[in-house]
Amino acid sequence: MIHAFFLSLGQLFDRPILAVFVKSVILTLVLFAGTSVGLWFGMHALADRIAAWLGGWSGSDAFADIATILIVLVAHWLMFRAIAVAVIGIFADEVVAAVERKHYPGAHAQAHDLPFGRALAMGLGSALRLIGVNLLLSPLYLILLVTGIGTALAFFLVNSWLLGRDLGDMVAARHMRRDELRGWRRRTGISRFALGAAGTGLFLVPILNLVAPVLGAAMATHAFHRGRRA
């Protein structure tokens, strides 16, 4: 995985991958900002309803502003990561193709480019799965707060598993039929988890978290093809 990371880092400034990086970062930031603005309007609408129910409340606007800021700050990592994974899911095929073209030309010649509709579905599915699983496990995260480190550890493990699954699928879908993917996932659980752990670690590092989705897709390409050679 370390070798895959440095290979991916060395190709980051190749024109096709750099183009995906620029597109994905811009779209991610736009969507994140749009989500935050939508949340602000939603909180103000909720505060107005509460104020009307209470027969008038002078502090409703301040409450809505503070609540929006707190929610965005608390949910920042999960929201940003969910949006980033969805976006890179849309553009991942370009990254994978660029890595294959340079390092695995034989496999690239036999690959099937993903239709935009399927790439979009995979990206949105990744984001929804990330949000849904973490919301479902939020009671467990709260319980584990008493352990000090349990919440962070559980969060890291769960999201490493999720990210490894999604990154692996982005590459495997170019080379396998849908009915083959399930068996491939069973055979590669450990390696995909390691891939997800590396990607999740990158998301935790400021600045690197912007490039984490692109690096993750490139690393997944190396992991997939090196695993097939083993």
pLDDT digits (tens, 9 = 90+) for 38-69: 888 888 888 777 777 766 666 667 777 787 77
pLDDT tens across 83-131, in order? 888 888 888 889 999 999 999 998 889 888 888 888 888 888 888 898 8
pTM of this prediction? 0.81
Statement: residue 230 has pLDDT above 60: no
First to last CA, the chain: 14
Q: What is the per-residue pLDDT for 91?
A: 87
Tell me, what's the pLDDT at 58?
64
Least Cα distance to 215 among 191, 192, 197, 199 occurs for 199
Looking at residue 193, its pLDDT comes to 93
pLDDT over 80 at 228, yes or no:
no
Query: Would the pLDDT of 74 be above 70?
Result: no
Which pLDDT value is given to residue 78?
72
Region 24-46: mean pLDDT is 83
In this prediction, residue 98 carries a pLDDT of: 92
| DSSP string of 64-104, one letter each residue | HHHHHHHHHHHHHHHHHHHHHHHHHHHHHHHHHHHHHHHH-
DSSP track, 160-204:
HHHHHHHHHHHHHTTTS-HHHHHHHHHHTHHHHHHHHHHHHHHHT
Q: How far are the Cα atoms of 3, 8, 21 from residue 115, in angstroms, in the given order? A: 30, 24, 20
Per-residue confidence (pLDDT) for residue 57, from 0 to 100: 62
User: pLDDT per residue over 166-216, tens digit each?
Assistant: 999 989 988 988 888 888 888 888 889 999 999 888 888 877 888 888 999
Q: State pLDDT tens for residues 125-169.
A: 888 898 899 889 989 988 988 888 888 899 899 999 999 999 999
pLDDT recorded at residue 56: 64
